[in-house]
Amino acid sequence: MGDDCVAKVEKTNDAIDNNKQENKKKTHLKSPILTGKVESLGKLNDVYGELNEVFTRTKQAFQLFKTKIFFYPEPDFTKPFSESLKQVDGRLQEMGNLLGSYVSRQSASPITDVGTPISTVKPSGTISITPPASEVGNDEVEVTDSTINNSGITRKRHSREFKPDGSHTLPYKKSKRSLIDDYLIKDVKSSQVVDKTLTKNEDEDVYEVESIVDIAKTQGQVTYCVKWKGYGPQDNTWEPHNNLTGCEDLLFEFYKERLKKQEESYTEELNYHRFPIDDNSKEILFKAFQAHLVLIGLSEKDRQNAIHLVVSSKTPTPKSKKEVDALLEKALNSRKKERYLSVVREILQDRVLIELKTQRNKQLAELRSWERNINFICTDTACLSIENNIDLDLPPTEFHYINQSQAGEGVTIPSDPVVGCECDDCSSSKSCCPNQMNAMVVFNKFGKLKQQVSLGTPIYECNNICKCGPDCVNRVVQKGRTVGLCIFRTGNNRGWGVKTMENIKRGSLVTEYVGEVITSEEAERRGHIYDAQGCTYLFDLDYNKGDQNPYTIDAAKCGNVSHFINHSCDPNLVVFNVWVNCLDPDLPRLALFATHDIKKGEELTFDYNSGLKRDQAASFSTFTGNLLTPDKNDQIKVSSEVILKTPKGNRGLQYGKTECHCGAANCRKYFF
């Protein structure tokens, strides 16, 4: 009996303890703090899943965008945007890992109350989000229904399923895909599906623009009529500029074609209304307009005026880009063709000036280089300068400067004289070199031709075996040029010319005519070529030989400053035959002397057809009058007997091929 009572009491005590434990469980489950923690963690999990889904849609949208710009990619945007997506993707992975790890720890660690575990039930197919023990320290407060009602905390009411033993489970959750599991486990698979979808979209949604066919402006917006490749005109659509990504070349060609049609109008009004100007494609339009203007070009007169400005010191300052753009827009907005062409001409002039100025700078650099090279080669004591203030022509590329004549094929020029003088003073000696050759000393003590020397007089200078020194008065031509000269561009279509840079006294040596000494047969062959070209540099060595001259000097490819001396029917230079070390009568040197005083800056000229027979020299005046220049009446009445029987001379006046532009009063109109 007593034992039964004791057993009953113990059983009662156990029941009481069990009830207390159940009450504590209920109290913990009803704690608003713990409940809020559980709900907030669940909400965080849900929102993270939504964020992941939104990010996945963002990646899909970006991939779709790239398919739309497949033919005209935008690397300045797509590349950095893609990098940003990768960074966000990495951060999301870190967040998913942290959240998944945290949830796993909470599922593995049950809530404890003074060391007593609380059992949790994990519904099948879900992740248990069981809050951990509170760290606040007051989670063990007994909570009653009245406490909950007065706490101001709103919570969802969940139906509970009570078991026969008095315990209960958490409300059953509907099985759904875990977002964290989806991210951590199924991310690779879903990415493959997305890639397949995008690849399909790329194949289906790509359209290629074939051409731009029209432009219009409606309610302030400029649109373009687009012809799609593979579709008919009925499928053309009007698109704004933003939809024409990567179509810059097509827009450029469209603008050029439209401007060309507009230019072909011969009426006072332009073919089209005001050209719609799209701010988004203004730069392309302006480039097309400038390319169109290049095709139009300036008139020859306007271009020559522009060249004249560039080569002078009055070159205007080119317009700025802003000023040019303003003119372009003004031209495009013009209704009257007269005004349009006026603005176009102004734009072209400015553009041409810029191009010509660049050419001018290049030309000046090449002229300076040519000048340095010539003076480096030249052995004369006086310098040569180069000048071109007429056009933009560059130095001749196939001309080589030399100091003395060179023997061509089949020609030998002896340089060892067989006879010389033994004079102490050649100016008064009767046995000097000229006297030995039955000639006269033609130079005075100043190195100039004596007044009594007539045209055709041979000149014999002292040579290498003569006893006289370098200061001998009979050594002039062999010392070379002592007058400063300038190779310059003429302004009357005569090409390059030569002018003096100092005053020249009459009878003074100016220069020697040098080149390649060739045979008469070779001269005939080259003469036909030069005739076809309208110029020649052939000079026959026919002193006292008539038309039987065996040699000719050709200065076309090689020569000195005399190569650039122009012809004149009233020249200021005359040619004399000179012998120095080579005493072969058929190989004289050709020296150019001043016929009268020549002022600084005056152009130098000689008569290309001035050769005379020796017995005709008396018909010319001496230095007292017009130095070595034929009488004007004699020059006008030129006969075939006076003309040199050379490849240069006998073809010129006979056929009248080459017109003379010397401008002299006694001009013969043709010089060969």
Percent of the chain at pLDDT exceeding 90: 29
The confidence score (pLDDT) of residue 42 equals 81
Tell me the pTM: 0.57
Between residues 161 and 380, the one the model is more confident about: 380
Q: Is the pLDDT of residue 605 over 90?
A: yes
Between residues 477 and 492, the one the model is more confident about: 477
The confidence score (pLDDT) of residue 543 equals 76
Model pLDDT for residues 20-58, shown as the tens digit of each residue: 555 554 444 445 666 777 788 888 888 888 888 898 889
Among the options 48, 255, 551, 608, which is catalytic? 608
Between residues 512 and 221, the one the model is more confident about: 512
The confidence score (pLDDT) of residue 170 equals 33
* Domains in the chain, CATH or no CATH each: 10-183 (no CATH), 209-356 (2.40.50.40), 384-655 (2.170.270.10)
The confidence score (pLDDT) of residue 217 equals 80
Between residues 156 and 344, the one the model is more confident about: 344
> What is the distance between the alpha carbons of residues 97 and 374, in angstroms, rounded to a whole number?
83
Kindly report each contact of residues 340-343 with a partner whose C-beta sits within 8 Å and lies 24 or more positions away, as own/partner: 340/270
The confidence score (pLDDT) of residue 176 equals 36
Model pLDDT for residues 260-299, shown as the tens digit of each residue: 776 665 455 554 445 677 777 777 877 877 777 766 666 7
Between residues 99 and 367, the one the model is more confident about: 367
Task: Convert 322-361 to b/e letters by CB count within 10 Å (16 or more is b).
Answer: eebeebbbbbbebeebeebeebbbebbbbbbbeebbeebe
Among the options 224, 513, 530, 543, which is catalytic? 513
Model pLDDT for residues 621-646, shown as the tens digit of each residue: 333 333 333 333 333 233 333 333 33
The confidence score (pLDDT) of residue 592 equals 97
Average pLDDT, the chain: 74
Active site residue 513: yes
The confidence score (pLDDT) of residue 533 equals 80
Q: What confidence tier does 14 reach under pLDDT thresholds 50, 70, 90?
A: low
Q: Report the sign of the C-alpha dihedral through residues 115, 121, 125, 131, in that order.
A: negative
Model pLDDT for residues 73-89, shown as the tens digit of each residue: 777 888 888 889 888 98
The confidence score (pLDDT) of residue 70 equals 65
The confidence score (pLDDT) of residue 15 equals 55
Q: Is the pLDDT of residue 383 over 80?
A: yes
The confidence score (pLDDT) of residue 32 equals 67
Question: In angstroms, what CA-CA distances link 378 with 120, 403, 415, 439, 445?
Answer: 112, 6, 20, 31, 26
Could you tell me which residues come within 8 angstroms of residue 134 by beta carbon, excluding any fewer than 6 positions away?
Answer: 31, 33, 34, 37
Between residues 492 and 184, the one the model is more confident about: 492
Active site residue 224: no
> What is the distance between the alpha carbons of residues 367 and 360, in angstroms, rounded to a whole number?
10
